[in-house]
């Protein structure tokens, strides 16, 4: 369990995080979303006990990070932004050092090191200095370090940054496989990642919490939620007829791909009507699908929307 209450961090006159409160129960994978400079990393650094909050409190596994820092740090694994590591060490030496610091005994060390080396496929580079590793391998060494003591809480700051699509996929599988009884907080600005691994998403911008929902709920906020995509050679006829339907507010047309997207009135699902219409009219349908919603659009709407209202106030 992680409890965050009224968390605030000032750097001089700049407020990086303001009045952030949320709780994360066991077994949840929380996606931490926000534009660059939103305060994601600052928040994570406070949860891990690196930065001291200006106000508010953080409690991890029942330990307050300010009054019982060592206990709290023991139950956490942390991957800092950019996955820093000691360049002159090899991954094996680095993991030995972490095992010493985490107090693993010989048997645990062998078992856990074998496991993370296997999970993150580090076998090939174990005895090569970290400085000479590619960005992807360095990130995986950082993840291995965070996972080594099998922590109850994992805080990962942009874990898939710099990985190729295959590696990204593997890391997401790994996070998904972990999650059963753990708390995982993942910061990212890759929205597909949130859909792929998170049970819950928190969007922050300019240090404020703007949304806290499941990825599905966020998708439902999109104007493309339940929109219908239709590809047909009879595009003009289709556009004309569909835009007359009562539940359709607008039709986007992509002429090159002979595709239209019918955006519904909020709260309605015009798929049935459109499908019936296509059958009646005998349009040659190549594709007819329902969209779940577009997270990137919701993300823009939520994070930029704040700026507009703030601008209006000022």
DSSP state of 25: -
**Residue 43 buriedness (CB in 10 A; 0-12 / 13-18 / 19+):** buried
**Residue 277 buriedness (CB in 10 A; 0-12 / 13-18 / 19+):** middle
Instruction: Select from 34, 39, 49, 264 the one that contacts another protein (CB under 8 A).
Output: 49
Instruction: Select from 25, 62, 86, 118 the one that contacts another protein (CB under 8 A).
Output: 86
Is residue 93 near another protein by the rule CB under 8 A? Answer: yes
Question: In Å, how far are 52, 187, 263 from 43, measured between CA atoms?
Answer: 10, 10, 37
Is residue 92 near another protein by the rule CB under 8 A? Answer: no
Is residue 195 near another protein by the rule CB under 8 A? Answer: no
x/- mask, another protein, residues 126-155, rule CB under 8 A, reads: ---x---------------x----------
Instruction: Select from 31, 39, 80, 264 the one that contacts another protein (CB under 8 A).
Output: 80
Minimal distance, residue 142 CB to another protein, in Å? 8
**Residue 76 buriedness (CB in 10 A; 0-12 / 13-18 / 19+):** buried
Is residue 221 near another protein by the rule CB under 8 A? Answer: no
- Residues that bind another protein (rule: CB under 8 A) add up to a total of 30
Instruction: Select from 35, 56, 82, 306 the one that contacts another protein (CB under 8 A).
Output: 82
The closest alpha carbon to 164, from 128, 196, 139, 182, belongs to: 139
Q: Radius of gyration over alpha carbons of the chain, in Å?
A: 24
Q: Which residues bind another protein (CB under 8 A)?
A: 11, 45, 48-52, 69-70, 73-74, 76, 78, 80-82, 84-89, 93, 97-98, 100-102, 129, 145
């Amino acid at each position: 369990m992680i409890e965050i209450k009224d968390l605030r961090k000032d750097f001089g006159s700049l407020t990086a995080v303001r009045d952030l409160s949320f709780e994360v129960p066991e077994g949840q994978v929380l996606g931490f979303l926000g534009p660059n400079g939103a305060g994601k990393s600052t928040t994570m650094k406070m949860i891990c006990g690196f930065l001291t909050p200006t106000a508010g409190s953080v409690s991890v596994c029942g330990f307050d990070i300010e009054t019982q820092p060592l206990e709290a740090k023991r139950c956490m694994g942390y991957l800092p932004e950019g996955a820093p590591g000691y360049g002159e060490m090899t991954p094996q030496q680095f993991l030995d050092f972490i095992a010493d610091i985490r107090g693993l005994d010989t048997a645990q060390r062998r078992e856990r090191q074998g496991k993370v080396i296997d999970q993150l496929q580090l076998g090939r580079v174990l005895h090569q200095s970290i400085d000479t590793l590619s960005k992807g391998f360095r990130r995986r060494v950082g993840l291995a370090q965070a996972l080594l003591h099998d922590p109850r809480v994992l805080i990962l700051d942009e874990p898939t940054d710099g990985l190729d699509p295959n590696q990204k996929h593997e890391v997401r599988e790994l996070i998904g496989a972990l999650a059963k009884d753990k708390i995982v907080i993942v910061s990212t600005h890759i929205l597909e990642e949130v859909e792929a691994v998170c049970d819950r998403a928190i969007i922050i911008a300019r240090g404020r919490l703007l949304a806290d929902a499941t990825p599905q709920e966020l998708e439902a906020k999109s104007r493309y939620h339940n929109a219908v995509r239709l590809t047909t050679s009879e595009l003009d006829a289709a556009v004309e007829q569909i835009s007359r339907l009562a539940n359709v507010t607008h039709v986007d047309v992509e002429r090159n791909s002979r595709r239209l997207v019918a955006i519904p009135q909020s709260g309605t699902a015009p798929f049935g009507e459109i499908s019936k219409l296509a059958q009646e009219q005998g349009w040659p349908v190549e594709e007819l699908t329902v969209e779940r919603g577009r997270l990137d659009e919701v993300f823009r709407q939520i994070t930029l929307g704040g700026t507009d209202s703030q601008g209006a106030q000022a």
